[in-house]
Amino acid sequence: MKKIGCYLVFLSMLFLFTLSACKPIPTQVLNQPTATQVENKPTPTQVVNQPTATQVVNQPTPTQVVNQPTPTQVVNQPTPTQVVNQPTPTSSKPSEGLEFKPLDNSTVYVAGLGTCKDNDVMIPSSFNGMSVVEIGNSAFYKCSSLTSVSIPDSVTKIRENGFAHCTSLTSISIPNSVTSIERNAFSNCTSLTSISIPDSVTEIKNDTFVDCSSLASVSIPDSVTEIEQFAFACCSSLTSVSIPNSITSLSNEMFLRCTSLTSISIPNSVTSFGSYVFYECTSLTSISIPNSVTEIGEGAFYNCSSLTSVSISNSVTEIGNYAFWGCSSLTSISIPDSVTEIGEDAFAYCKSLTSVSISNSVTQIRKEAFAYCKSLTSVSIPDSVTQICKYAFAGCTSLTSISIPNSVTTIFDNAFCNCKGLLDINFNGTIQMWKNIAIYFQWDKGTPSYTITCTDGTINK
């Protein structure tokens, strides 16, 4: 029995040893993670697809809010130092570095741009305790980067060439304190689009706005009593102008080559048109000359090729040389009885002119007065005329008939040359009276056969 008991103890121990051999050791569990690794599970410092304590996926951090402004920024709203479409506080400050020179002990004038780098210049009202009263001669001449200027109300004068050739200048503010704008002050400011002249200004000098090719509108106040020659010449974008009642004369070349000018209002205060005042205003279609005007100057409407109608008042006594030369769209003209003189080439090359009525006060048809009016078909010369000058009707190829009074004493050479359609000349005098007229050589050169009908018979060529 003792042996059997020992054998059973041995078997029990063998069983326990075998059973323990079939299990994992304590430091490793088969197919299970260790204490430092759990398969497909996050560690304490990492959560898969979940934000950490310091990070939230797709959510803003405490210092950032997605699509919302930060405390120092508001989206689409101005910051405290900037207002949208409004100048920043620094833009209202006078420009620094401008050059000033003294006029006396208390006043200075702007002498130049100096070291100023501003494109938008704000001129101060004072400098070193002295008042700024003038923009000096050529102060900003050829400052090609200058785009705008603000002038203080301490300034009374803008001197000659003050802003001439400032080709980038688009706007300028002129205060009511300014009484004088001198010649060439804004000449060749080719980017300037509009200008308002204050009521304090009494005259606009020569060439003030000449060659301001972008200037489309201008406001001239009633305070202006004189606009000198070339003031708005070659302002090729200017479309319309209203002349104030304070103006008495339109000066020479005032609107010369304003090629976009379509209309102009002329008041009854105007008494005369200067020479070439509307020279080559090729878009001007009509003009009404008021009853106050007594003289239309030389070349006043020279080559106004779109001018179709003109109303000449009974107050006009003189139509100058070349006054309507080359007005190729003008179809008819009535010259009132008040006119005593029609100048040389006054209506030459008016190629569409079909009829003309000449006043009974005219004594002379001057040289080339109606030359090359190729559509003119008939002309009646009044009894007041005594002379028909050289080339007066030369090249009027459609002219078929003309009436000449017995008051005519002289017909100069080439007066009717190349009038190739002329058939009838009606003379209200006798054949002998016709023969008594001093008719110069080749007065009818290039004119084919025609008949002169006198009161007592006919003369055939």
Is the alpha carbon torsion for 318, 322, 325, 327 positive or negative?
negative
**pLDDT at residue number 405:** 96
* Residue 446 buriedness (CB in 10 A; 0-12 / 13-18 / 19+): middle
Q: Look at residue 48 in the predicted model and tell me its pLDDT.
A: 35
Beta strand 451-454 pairing with 332-334: unpaired
- pLDDT recorded at residue 219: 87
The pLDDT score that the predictor gives to residue 422 is: 95
* Residue 263 pLDDT grade (very low, low, confident, very high; cuts 50, 70, 90): confident
Angle CA 8–14–18, to nearest 5: 145
User: For the chain, which residues make up each domain, given as ranges?
Assistant: 96-205+218-228, 381-461
Kindly tell me if the per-residue pLDDT of 64 is higher than 70: no
Average pLDDT over residues 4-23: 50
pLDDT at 119 over 50: yes
The per-residue pLDDT for 265 is: 86
Strand order in the sheet with 457-460: 378-380, 401-404, 424-427, 451-454, 457-460
For residues 131 and 126, give the distance between their C-alpha atoms in angstroms, rounded to a whole number. 4
Residue range 8-32: mean pLDDT, rounded: 45
Distance CA 425, CA 235 (A): 47
Share of the chain above pLDDT 70, in %: 80
Residue 328 pLDDT exceeds 60: yes
Q: Among all chains, which residue has been given the structure tokens 């209200």?
A: 428
pLDDT at 66: 38
Residue range 257-285: average pLDDT?
Answer: 94
Question: 348 pLDDT exceeds 70?
Answer: yes
| The model's pTM | 0.76
Q: Are 230 and 250 in contact (CB under 8 A)?
A: no
Task: Say if CB 145 and CB 119 are below 8 A apart.
Answer: yes
For residues 387 and 309, the model is more confident at: 387
Q: How far apart are the first and last CA of the chain?
A: 184
* Residue 93 · residue 122 · CB < 8 Å: yes
pLDDT tens per residue across span 168-203: 999 898 999 999 999 999 999 999 999 989 999 999
| The most confident of 55-59, 75-79, 230-234, 359-363, by mean pLDDT | 230-234
pLDDT (0 to 100) of residue 8: 54
pLDDT tens digit string along 80-117? 434 334 343 345 789 999 999 999 999 999 999 999 99
The two tokens of residue 111 are 């002498």
Q: What is the CATH number of domain 96-205+218-228?
A: 3.80.10.10
Q: What fold does the segment set 381-461 form as a domain?
A: Rossmann fold (3.40.50)
**C-alpha 372 chain-centroid distance:** 34
Give CA separation, 320 vs 196, 272, 419, in Å.
Answer: 33, 11, 25
Reported as a single tens digit per residue, the pLDDT across 150-168 is: 999 999 999 999 999 999 9
Residues 254/232, Cβ–Cβ less than 8 Å: yes
* Residue 36 DSSP one-character state: T
**Confidence tier at 311 by pLDDT (50, 70, 90):** confident
**Which residues have a Cβ under 8 Å from the Cβ of 47 and sit 6 or more positions away?**
none
Do residues 350 and 324 lie in contact, with contact meaning Cβ atoms separated by under 8 Å?
Answer: yes
